[in-house]
């Protein structure tokens, strides 16, 4: 079981250190090797996804990633930015299926920004397409051209999906729904965008092959509203790259903090990259303040999806539940009466619970 570990930037190395400790305590034959991705890789090599990381990631069975990016690199040309490294590795490894489960642990009901009764028992799976859409569509650019008689700067991107891309992500979503509550909500903007009209048409066609799954459609603006009005109406949500990016950050807050939301990005053979859904949190980096649980829970997803180690995955998840029940809280989920700890101490608590 070979794991390529990419701590990245900002809080990345801090949260990754805790996830690696947890994995190391599991009595599994895991081989972990580190490489640079993101801003740290730009600093060292000028390339956000350098060859060493490419080699290691391609040879590994799974990739565990912290987070990339930060203000230090924001002014660089686009192809040298840390985020380009992240998009590059997703595309390189063909990780088109991004699973972002938003689960509310009962102990965190009061940390959610919504009333406890609205979120109690929440368990949503967001299936986000990850290698297409406006993120990768061509043409794209910024240029100066004549517009209505004056020279102006124009910026443009292309929202585009080919049928095979839509079919393969919907297949993942239908199959996930079959294994869960058998409800699938496909989110689009078909009232305006042709690209997502095609998405909806294909979802309707495929629904015939999954008679046990109840398929519904929702426009993305309504979906954003419904997620905070009555989130428990959802079981599995499936959507494109950009809508999924936005809706999964929104859903994370229902669970108490974005520091709780893990993710798996899978190819067709369940080779995967696992990372928290949050970013490099430059505002709290280097201060032992970040919540490592999303990364630790991402490691649990890795054990489940890539390595078929369901028991070990549950052991890690149960340890997380236990530390929450014991009252351990990083600043992002802290409330009066609980025990405020730092990143490292949260890792210590998870290890003790294991």
DSSP lists the bridge partners of residue 98 as 128, 265
Q: Which residue has the tokens 């805790």?
A: 18
* Phi/psi of residue 336, nearest 5 degrees: -55, 140
Query: Any catalytic annotation for residue 204?
Result: no
Positions 232 through 271 that interact with Mn ion (CB under 5 A)? 245
Residue 87 binding target from ligand IPM, Mn ion, ligand NAD, none, CB below 5 to 8 Å by type: ligand IPM
Residue 280 binding target from ligand NAD, Mn ion, ligand IPM, none, CB below 5 to 8 Å by type: ligand NAD
Confirm or deny that 290 is annotated as ligand binding. Answer: yes
- DSSP string across 201-217: HHHHHHHTT-TTSEEEE
Positions 251 through 310 that interact with ligand IPM (CB under 6 A)? 277
Interacting span for ligand IPM (CB under 6 A) from 24-32, 82-90, 148-156, 194-202: 82-90
In the chain, at which residue ranges do the beta strands (DSSP E only) sit?
2-8, 31-34, 62-67, 97-103, 123-129, 141-147, 150-156, 183-188, 214-219, 236-239, 264-266, 272-274, 328-329, 339-340
Query: Any catalytic annotation for residue 9?
Result: no
3-state class of 72 per DSSP? Answer: helix
Interacting span for ligand IPM (CB under 6 A) from 34-42, 83-91, 191-199, 201-209: 83-91
> CB of residue 244 vs Mn ion: minimum separation in angstroms?
9
Q: Which residue has the tokens 């893990």?
A: 262
Q: Which residue number has the CB closest to ligand IPM?
A: 83
- Do residues 331 and 97 lie in contact, with contact meaning Cβ atoms separated by under 8 Å? no
Interacting span for ligand NAD (CB under 6 A) from 198-206, 288-296, 306-314, 319-327: 288-296
Query: Any catalytic annotation for residue 189?
Result: yes
Number of residues that bind ligand IPM (CB under 6 A): 6
Residue 282 binding target from ligand IPM, ligand NAD, Mn ion, none, CB below 5 to 8 Å by type: ligand NAD
Residue 152 has a CB neighbour count (10 Å cut-off) of 11
Positions 222 through 261 that interact with ligand IPM (CB under 6 A)? 245
**Catalytic hit among 43, 249, 267, 348:** 249
Residue 83 interacts with ligand IPM (CB under 6 A): yes or no: yes
**Catalytic hit among 9, 133, 188, 189:** 189
- How far is residue 11 CA from its own chain's centroid? 16
Query: Any catalytic annotation for residue 208?
Result: no
Residue 169 C-beta-side C-alpha neighbours within 13 Å: 32
**Catalytic hit among 55, 115, 164, 221:** 221
Q: What span, in angstroms and rounded, lies between the C-alpha atoms of 300 and 277? A: 14
**320: nearest Cα among 294, 289, 287:** 294
Interacting span for ligand NAD (CB under 6 A) from 62-70, 111-119, 154-162, 305-313: 62-70
Sole binder of ligand IPM in the list 87, 220, 251, 333 (CB under 6 A):
87
Q: Which residue number has the CB closest to Mn ion?
A: 245
**4: nearest Cα among 71, 69, 49:** 49
Residue 261 interacts with ligand NAD (CB under 6 A): yes or no: no
Residue 248 has a CB neighbour count (10 Å cut-off) of 25
Sole binder of ligand NAD in the list 13, 282, 327, 342 (CB under 6 A):
282
- Do residues 67 and 8 lie in contact, with contact meaning Cβ atoms separated by under 8 Å? yes
Q: In sequence order, what are the residues at sequence separation of 6 or more whose Cβ sits closer than 8 angstroms to the Cβ of residue 146? A: 152
Which DSSP category does 144 fall into? Answer: E
**Catalytic hit among 9, 49, 105, 135:** 135
Name the residues that contact ligand NAD, by CB under 6 A: 11, 15, 67-70, 83, 86, 258-259, 275, 278-284, 290-291, 294, 332
Which amino acids are annotated as binding site for NAD(+), given as ranges? 70-83, 279-291
Enzyme catalytic residues: 135, 189, 221, 245, 249
Residues that bind ligand IPM (CB under 6 A): 69, 83, 86-87, 245, 277
């Amino acid at each position: 079981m070979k794991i390529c570990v990419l701590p990245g930037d900002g809080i990345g190395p801090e949260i990754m250190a805790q996830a690696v400790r947890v994995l190391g305590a599991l009595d599994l034959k895991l081989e972990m090797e580190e490489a640079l991705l993101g801003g740290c890789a730009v600093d060292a090599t000028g390339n956000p996804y350098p060859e060493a990381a490419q080699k290691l990631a391609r040879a590994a069975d799974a990739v565990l990633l912290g987070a990339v990016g930060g203000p230090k690199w924001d002014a660089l040309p686009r192809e040298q930015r840390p985020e380009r490294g992240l998009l590059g590795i997703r595309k390189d490894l063909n990780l088109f299926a991004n699973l972002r489960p938003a689960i509310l642990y009962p102990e965190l009901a009061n940390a959610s920004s919504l009333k406890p009764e609205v979120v109690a028992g929440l368990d949503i799976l967001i299936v986000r397409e990850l290698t297409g859409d406006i993120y990768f569509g061509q043409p794209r650019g910024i240029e100066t051209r004549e517009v209505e008689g004056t020279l102006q700067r124009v910026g443009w991107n292309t929202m585009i999906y080919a049928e095979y891309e839509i079919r393969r992500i919907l297949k993942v979503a239908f199959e996930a729904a079959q294994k869960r509550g058998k409800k699938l909500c496909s989110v689009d903007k078909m009232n305006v965008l042709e690209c997502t009209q095609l998405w909806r048409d294909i979802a309707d066609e495929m629904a015939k092959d999954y008679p046990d799954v109840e398929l519904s459609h929702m426009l993305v603006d309504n979906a954003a509203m419904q997620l905070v009005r009555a989130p428990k109406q959802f079981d599995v949500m499936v959507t494109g790259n950009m809508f999924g990016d936005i809706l999964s950050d929104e859903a994370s807050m229902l669970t108490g903090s974005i520091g709780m939301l893990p993710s798996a990005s899978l190819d067709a053979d369940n080779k995967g990259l696992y990372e928290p859904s949050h970013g490099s949190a430059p505002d709290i980096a280097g201060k032992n303040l970040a919540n490592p649980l999303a990364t630790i829970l991402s490691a649990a997803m890795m054990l489940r999806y890539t390595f078929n180690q369901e028991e070990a995955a549950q052991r890690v998840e149960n340890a997380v539940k236990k530390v929450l029940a014991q009252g351990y809280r990083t600043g992002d989920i802290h409330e009066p009466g609980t025990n405020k700890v730092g990143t490292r101490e949260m890792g210590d608590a998870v290890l003790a619970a294991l």
